[in-house]
Amino acid sequence: MSARHLVVHGTVQGVFFRASAEQEARRLGVAGWVRNRSDGTVEMVAEGDDEAVDALVGWAHQGPPRADVTGVDVTDREPEGLTDFTER
C-alpha cells in the first residue's frame, strides 16, 4: 500500500483533467481525490496498491488528450485509508 501527493503543472485546467483522473483512478482501483488549484495546477492524492498508484502517477505525466503536462511534483505520504476517488 502506498500513497502519493501530486501537483500537476501545465495546461491542466479546462481540459477534463480531473474527470479523466477520476476515471483512470477508478479503473486502476486507486482511492484519493483530485482538485484544481488557484495557481492553475491540479492537485491529486492517490492511495492504494503500489503498482496501481505508480500507474496513476505515470498517467498524470501525460494526462488526457487535451492536456499539456509540463511537470509533476510527486511526494510520498502516509496512507490515510481512503476508500474512493473523488473530484473536489
**22 vs 42: CA distance, rounded Å:** 12
Query: 18, 26, 66, 77: which is the annotated catalytic residue?
Result: 18
**Is position 36 annotated as part of the catalytic site?**
yes
**Is position 88 annotated as part of the catalytic site?**
no
Query: 26, 27, 35, 36: which is the annotated catalytic residue?
Result: 36
**46 vs 39: CA distance, rounded Å:** 21
Grid cell at residue 5: 501527493
Residues tagged active-site: 18, 36
